[in-house]
Amino acid sequence: VQSDYLLSATGLNKNFGGIKAVSNAEIKVNQGSITGLIGPNGAGKTTLFNLLSNFIRPDRGQVIFDHQPIDHLQPHEIAQRGFIRTFQVARVLSKLTVLENMLLATPKQTGENFFQVWLNQSQVRQEERENKQKALGILESVGLIEKAYDYAGALSGGQRKLLEMARTLMTNPKLILLDEPAAGVNPTLINQICEHIINWNRQGITFLIIEHNMDVIMSLCNHVWVLAEGTNLADGTPEEIQTNPDVLEAYLGE
């Protein structure tokens, strides 16, 4: 049923010069699910993420989030509606502290004249206090609280990924797209990241996850979509995908 999908995209196409990066692809993400997106290198997964979150514009196709088309919206407007993403290489600012990176996700006061700002001062301070408390609470819950006042540049690659994920929670998201949360992360931290994802999902957040680590996909996901050469190859439960001959062949050819 259409109304069960938090995210649904159909007929997505993107060419780069002569390369068909994404070709007539579709994906559907059930409300409340942890959905996986897998495929061999160069299959078009990251490009599909960029199309879903409007970081790049599709040549054709439509994306529906929370029952509304979002094709005309900027990524930050999409984020305001509760749809946020992370990147393959975590986008954190190394010369800001971990806490400052968290606060980057909060809305800024803009476009107001001095008098309005003066009137709003105490309200702004109150919001800043609340945002800081919220950020510290999230950092505590992911085990980064002791790093709150360290530069983000001092974190390990895995911790940076965790920080980027933690920051997505500042905007009260309904849907989080994670681009390879386990890549380059040590096994202990991978397990912790998986536990956090399960916890956040229990709290009502839906996930779509690109990941090459099949253990992570198989243990987390309710449903998995497989892309190959820019287009849909299969979708199903992790068990169905694992035994699908077309999927096995696509990976063997890699």
Q: Site residues (CB under 6 A) for ligand ATP?
A: 16, 19, 21, 39, 41-47
Comparing CB distances to ligand ATP, the nearer of 16 and 149 is 16
Q: Any bridge partners for residue 223, and if so which?
A: 35
Nearby residues of 135 by Cβ (< 8 Å), 6 or more positions away: 99, 102, 103, 170
Pseudo-torsion of CA 155, 160, 164, 169, nearest 10°?
-60
Nearby residues of 172 by Cβ (< 8 Å), 6 or more positions away: 82
Comparing CB distances to ligand ATP, the nearer of 19 and 154 is 19
Min separation Cβ 20 and ligand ATP, Å: 8
Comparing CB distances to ligand ATP, the nearer of 58 and 105 is 58
Comparing CB distances to ligand ATP, the nearer of 142 and 185 is 185
Comparing CB distances to ligand ATP, the nearer of 67 and 91 is 91
Min separation Cβ 178 and ligand ATP, Å: 13
Min separation Cβ 177 and ligand ATP, Å: 12
Comparing CB distances to ligand ATP, the nearer of 19 and 198 is 19
Min separation Cβ 211 and ligand ATP, Å: 10
Task: Give me the residue label for tokens 């035994």.
Answer: 243
Min separation Cβ 34 and ligand ATP, Å: 19
The backbone torsions φ and ψ at residue 34, rounded to the nearest 5 degrees and listed phi first, read -115, 105
Which parts of 42-197 are beta strand (E)? 60-65, 68-69, 83-85, 175-179
CB neighbourhood size of 21 (10 A): 23
Q: Report the 3 state secondary structure along 176-191.
A: EEEECCCCCCCHHHHH
Q: Is 14 helix (H, G, I), strand (E, B) or coil?
A: strand
Distance (Å, whole) CA 120 – CA 129: 14
Q: What are the structure tokens assigned to 170, written together?
A: 């500042």
CB neighbourhood size of 77 (10 A): 12
Comparing CB distances to ligand ATP, the nearer of 64 and 183 is 183
Min separation Cβ 51 and ligand ATP, Å: 9
Min separation Cβ 217 and ligand ATP, Å: 13
